[in-house]
Amino acid sequence: MMYAIKIIALVCFLSASASSLLALDKGSLIFYPEAGLGLSSGFATALNPESASRFFGSPNVLFKEPQAKAGLSWNIGCGIDYALSGLLAATSGLFIGRTTHTIVYKKTGSAKNDLEVNTDFLYLTIPAGARLYTDLLMLGGGLYIGIPLSCDSSYKFGTTTEANIDALTTIGLFIDAGMNFTDINNLMVFFRFKSDLSYAFKDEHYIVTKARTLSLNLTVAYRFKTYKI
């Protein structure tokens, strides 16, 4: 008898503990505006120092090996969650985000200046994934499609020269991790990591021949339930 009481007490305790984790109302559709700011970089393929020197018409090697330099990233938009259970939600939304990326070639004794190549991408992003919520934590991720809105590039070698390049539609991976403050008006603060799986840019005749964007943003979002399906 005492053993049965202990089992029942344990089950009740575990059930109460699990229910305290529930952060969602199953079947609810939730919208949340959000904005994020952080750092961006990328995976780029650039001309080697010899080819980059020939790009500027020099028979001498003007540069050392290229190096990546972090840039600025931001995003703003509105996300949407559909609660599949008290803990799990499907997530999507519509966001506009900017990433910048810089490649630097340090000069050799044959050059007067370093070479700096800058790219600036503006994308409309649509994610599709899932999130796990508790009353305190949020963890999720999935895939996204990125539709280019603009793409600017310039290179600086003494003077700055604008370059015409075209961005490509991308597919990428995103991961969200952070705090879910359900007791503070459904405020969320989380990191969003994004990485292109396909190239955002390709041009064999440019200094940077291929590039994929990469960003890490600290994001603030305010969730509010609209209606239940």
Residue 61: its pLDDT value, please?
92
**Burial call 64-94: b when 16+ CB within 10 Å, e when fewer:** eebeeebbebbbebebbbbbeebbbbebebe
For the chain, domain boundaries: 2-228
The full 3-state SS of 42-86, as one line of letters, equals EEEEECCHHHHHHHCCCCCCCECCCEEECEEEEEEEEEEEEECCC
Task: Return the CATH number of 2-228, one of 3.30.160, 2.60.120, 2.40.160, 1.10.10.
Answer: 2.40.160
Mean pLDDT by 10 residues, the chain (229 residues): 43 42 81 95 91 91 91 96 93 96 90 91 97 91 97 89 91 95 79 96 91 95 80
Q: What is the pTM of this model?
A: 0.83
Residue 170: its pLDDT value, please?
97
Closest by CA to 217, choosing from 90, 107, 104, 127, is 127
Q: Report which DSSP code applies to 112.
A: S
